[in-house]
């Protein structure tokens, strides 16, 4: 067996120790003689798994007691619609900051349900920076302000938490989930798909302040009603049980093997710095985003020559560095270095890039 370094933007690498643990428990979970895949979602064993996963999310993020943690399905994209259905419920106005494609898709979805406005955008420069906002950017009677914290495709991250005054904040944190500490109390709701940092695909985690719940619009599908999901402890129907189990293993890995989110952040900074420092000194490769807005998770770069980009991607892939192709809308390369990517993976990639640079100078 040989594992490669997987720089996929999602679904992405999982910690090897987590995969091994899942493998060791695959046929016989905890002496029950069945797999987690085969057990009832109402069983005691699964109740322990989902409650354990929730407790770990709460512990790692220091989630205040007046927030609900919901495990849902449908991918983050389904929740682009669930958010206006649950929260565009007063003035039916919502203000969106457009920092990339995922924010824009959420915005387009919200426009179907009410008066959604793009209050700031960085589309003019291919989303290579984070637009500035002030409290005055937002309509005082907006039901919420929405933004995407880490822009997976373009490799930017909000270097600040927008000041929205009293307007509830809602953030898509799919691609920076549990990558560093986050003050949840500054948000009304954060949510994200799990397949970037915390689990295989198929799970969405929503952390919502209780006072935000209970006012979903009447047409909200039952399955997308966060109050109903919270009341049912995420067991209104059959949840993605095995994915929640995998999520719990990853959360345990963050807590026990890494040492929590402060340590996770340090490790992620060290990893990203290895790549950014090289990009800043290279004569062949360059980063594509404004330095102050750089993501710790997704690092896009180019040579400036499409053929050379393609040659690099092909040779890297042969050498065991896979999924380095940039998103189809931007081209070039992108190294996604989520939580599970070891520091050695970032170092090995840079060593390979240096060799490629020397050979192609
Ligand atoms: C991947 C991603 C999404 C979409 O997730 P799906 O689960 O595929 O719907 C949304 N937002 C961000 C920031 C992402 O990285």
Question: Is the Cβ atom of 10 under 6 angstroms away from ligand 1?
Answer: yes
User: 15 in ligand 1 pocket by Cβ < 6 Å?
Assistant: no
Rounded to the nearest angstrom, the distance between the alpha carbon of 151 and the centre of ligand 1 is 10
Q: According to the model, what pLDDT value does residue 253 have?
A: 98
Is 262 buried (19+), middle (13-18) or exposed (0-12) by CB count in 10 A?
exposed
Q: Is the pTM of this model over 0.85?
A: yes
Residue 191 CA to ligand 1 center (angstroms) comes to 10
Q: What distance in angstroms lies between residue 235's CA and the mean position of ligand 1's atoms?
A: 23
| Residue 342 near ligand 1, beta carbon < 6 Å | no
83 lines ligand 1 (CB under 6 A): no
Catalytic annotation, pick one of 102, 248, 293, 325: 102
* C-alpha to C-alpha distances, 180 to 67, 162, 296, nearest whole angstrom: 19, 18, 10
Q: 187 has which bridge partners?
A: none
> Is 102 designated active site?
yes
Protein residue closest via CA to atom 13 of ligand 1: 174
77 in ligand 1 pocket by Cβ < 6 Å? yes
Tokens of 37: 């895949």
Q: Is 125 a catalytic residue?
A: no
Q: How many other CB atoms sit within 10 Å of the CB of residue 281?
A: 9
* Rounded Cα–Cα distance for residues 86 and 153 (Å): 27
User: What is residue 330's predicted lDDT score, i.e. its pLDDT?
Assistant: 85
User: Do residues 58 and 251 touch, judged by C-beta distance below 8 A?
Assistant: no
Kindly give the residue spans of alpha helices, DSSP state H, lying in 134-252: 226-231, 241-252
Q: Distance between CA atoms of 79 and 73, rounded to whole angstroms? A: 9
326 lines ligand 1 (CB under 6 A): no
Known catalytic residue at 166: no
The pLDDT assigned to 218 comes to 97
The rounded Å distance from CA 174 to ligand 1 centre is 6
Nearest Cα residue to atom 12 of ligand 1 = 174
Q: Which atom of ligand 1 is nearest to the CA of 195?
A: 7
Predicted local distance difference test score (pLDDT) of residue 361? 81
Q: Mean pLDDT, 10 residues at a time, over the chain (361 residues)?
A: 92 97 98 98 98 98 98 97 98 98 98 98 97 96 98 97 95 98 98 97 98 98 98 97 98 98 98 98 97 98 96 98 93 97 98 98 81
């Amino acid at each position: 067996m040989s594992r490669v370094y997987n720089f996929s933007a999602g679904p992405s690498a999982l910690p090897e120790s987590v995969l091994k643990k899942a493998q060791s428990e695959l046929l016989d979970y905890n002496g029950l003689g069945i797999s987690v895949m085969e057990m009832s979602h109402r069983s005691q064993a699964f109740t322990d798994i989902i409650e354990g996963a929730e407790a770990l999310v709460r512990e790692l993020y220091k989630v205040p007691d007046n927030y609900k943690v919901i495990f849902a399905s449908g991918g983050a994209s389904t929740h682009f619609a669930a958010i206006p259905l649950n929260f565009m419920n007063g003035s039916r106005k919502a203000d969106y900051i457009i920092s990339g494609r995922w924010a824009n898709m959420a915005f387009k979805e919200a426009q179907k349900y009410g008066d959604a406005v793009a209050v700031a955008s960085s589309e003019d420069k291919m989303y290579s920076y984070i637009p500035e906002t002030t409290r005055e950017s937002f309509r005082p009677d907006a039901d919420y302000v929405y933004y995407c914290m880490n822009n997976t495709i373009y490799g930017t991250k909000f270097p600040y938490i927008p000041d929205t005054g009293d307007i509830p904040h809602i953030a898509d944190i799919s691609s920076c989930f549990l990558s560093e500490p986050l003050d949840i109390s500054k948000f009304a709701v954060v949510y994200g798909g799990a397949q970037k940092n915390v689990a295989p695909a198929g799970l969405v985690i929503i952390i919502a302040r209780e006072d935000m719940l209970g006012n979903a619009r009447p047409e909200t599908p039952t399955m997308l009603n966060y109050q109903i999901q919270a009341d049912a402890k995420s067991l209104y129907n059959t949840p993605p049980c095995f994915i929640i189990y995998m999520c719990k293993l990853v959360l345990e890995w963050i807590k026990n093997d890494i040492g929590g989110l402060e340590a996770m952040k340090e490790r992620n900074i060290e990893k990203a710095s290895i790549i950014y420092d090289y990009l800043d000194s290279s004569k062949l490769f360059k980063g594509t985003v404004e330095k102050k807005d750089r993501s710790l998770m997704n690092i896009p770069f180019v040579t400036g020559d499409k053929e050379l980009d393609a040659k690099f991607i092909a040779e890297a892939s042969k050498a065991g560095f896979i999924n380095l192709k940039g998103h189809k809308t931007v081209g070039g390369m992108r190294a996604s270095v989520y939580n599970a990517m070891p520091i050695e993976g970032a170092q090995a990639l840079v060593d390979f890039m240096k060799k490629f640079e020397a050979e192609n100078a």
